[in-house]
Structure formats: structure tokens, C-alpha cells
Amino acid sequence: MRKTSTLERIRLFGRAGIDAVATLGRATVFLVRALFGRSGAGNPLQLLIKQLYSIGVMSLAIIVVSGVFIGMVLSLQGFNILSDYGSEQAVGQMVALTLLRELGPVVTALLFAGRAGSALTAEIGNMKSTEQLSSLEMIGVDPLKYIVAPRLWAGFISMPLLAVIFSVVGIWGGAMVAIDWLGVYEGSFWANMQNSVSFREDVLNGVIKSIVFGFVVTWIAVFQGYDCEPTSEGISRATTKTVVYASLAVLGLDFILTALMFGDF
């Protein structure tokens, strides 16, 4: 109907750019204020434990189940391909490296964004729309400290632990399939794995990845909740945004981190 001129389009593009930068700025100020600054009300350890429970422990089931299945599938697929070259015993090394370097941190982060991230956004958004955040502020308690900070820390702590657990159960699932089902000799399965997996290069780099992912996913989730429009539509929009943005951020960062860690520059 209405025709937008080129100039108008450029203006809208500029506006979008300014909005994006402004949001990033707000998110950064939000993060700094939540993590530093004067301490909040209540026993911080108590608050942290509560959040570790609802963020970490509650995500454990989905992480363990997904981990076992992914490990089993990796083992099956890897065996099929490797047996063409007569190197079935290398399946252990393949499963372990794939999980430790890539799938452990990435899949855990994606599941984490879906399970804990969306829940965080919805919870904080709901607190905002029912004026609980305002109410805290008026009682003289900084909601950034009381609500946001424990959730951020719980996310930072939970994510690497979940990723490590994911890798371990994945390797266990892979070993089960390879050894008990496909008949790979147990000794060479583990020996091959141990020979090719380096603690510093593979395990620690994977853990570093998952720490970065945990930081980003939790940050996005909590900020989206805090910054959402306090209506039902606003909350559902923010929850969707959390999952989409967090997943994209994880995948993009994964490429950068992989290039830095395992690429030869």
C-alpha cells in the first residue's frame, strides 16, 4: 500500500542499528551492576543454592538422557564408517573427541538454553509483570542483586558441570554400544581413547567452551527476562528470543572458539 522511499529504508536501518547498540549497552550495564556493586539482601549462599537447584539439578535429567543417546548414536555411526577401513578400535577415540571438543559443550548449551534459559526468562519476566521487581526496589532491595545475581552465578557454575556430565555419560553410552553390542575389544577401545585424548587440549578446552557458553546463555536469558515488556505477550516474546539468540550465540561462538583452540593460526 504505502511506498517507503529509499531514504526512509535507510533511516529504519539506522534506527535498528542504534537500537541494537543501545540494547547491548543496557545488557552490559545490567551485567556489571548485577555482578559487582554493593551486596544485596539475604544470605547470598542460600540464594545461590536455591538457584543451583532450579537451574542445575533440574536440568540434569534432560542432559543425562540426551548424553547417553548421543553417545550411543555416535558409536553406531562411527563404527559403521570406521569398519570400512578396518579401524573399529578407533571408535572410542572418535566418540570421546567428538563429545569432549564439540558435542558436549554445544549440545549441552543448546539444551540448557531451552530448559533453564527459557525458564529463567519467563520467571523474571513474570516477576516484572506482577511488579515483584518494583516491589523489591521499593522495599529497598536491589533486584539485580537479590534476583538476578544468584541466577547468573548459578548458570555460570551449572553449565560447565552439566557439559562435563554430558560428555561422561555420552562416552559411557558410546562404550556400551561399541563394546557390548558391536563387539569392539574393550582394552583397545579405552587404550585408543586414552592415547588420543589429551587432558589439557581436549578436556580443558571443552570445559572452557562450556564456561563461555554458560556465561552467554545465562546472560541472555536473565537480561531478556529483565528487559521484557511486562505483559503476557512480552514475556512469551522474550522467552522465544532467549532460545533463538542464545542458540545462535552458542553456535557462532563455538566456531570462533574452535578456530582459536584447535585451528593452527
Binding site for other proteins (CB under 8 A): 38, 41-42, 46, 49-50, 52-53, 56-57, 60, 85-87, 96, 100, 127, 130-132, 134-135, 137-142, 158, 160-162, 164-165, 167-168, 171, 190-191, 193-199, 202-203, 207
Which of 139, 251 has the CB closer to other proteins?
139
Contacts of 182 (CB under 8 A, 6+ apart): 75, 76, 79, 88, 91
Kindly state the smallest distance separating residue 231's Cβ from other proteins, in Å: 13
Which of 135, 240 has the CB closer to other proteins?
135
Which of 6, 38 has the CB closer to other proteins?
38
Please count the other Cβ atoms lying within 10 Å of the Cβ belonging to residue 213.
27
Task: Please state, in angstroms and rounded to a whole number, the distance separating the CA atoms of residues 88 and 65.
Answer: 25
Kindly state the smallest distance separating residue 81's Cβ from other proteins, in Å: 14
Distances (CA, A) of 107 to 61, 140, 224, 254: 14, 40, 21, 11
183: left (phi over 0), alpha (psi -120 to 50) or beta: left
Kindly state the smallest distance separating residue 12's Cβ from other proteins, in Å: 16
* Unique residue bearing C-alpha cell 552465578: 153
Kindly state the smallest distance separating residue 252's Cβ from other proteins, in Å: 26
Kindly state the smallest distance separating residue 256's Cβ from other proteins, in Å: 24
Task: Please state, in angstroms and rounded to a whole number, the distance separating the CA atoms of residues 88 and 38.
Answer: 58
Which of 189, 245 has the CB closer to other proteins?
189
Which of 74, 162 has the CB closer to other proteins?
162
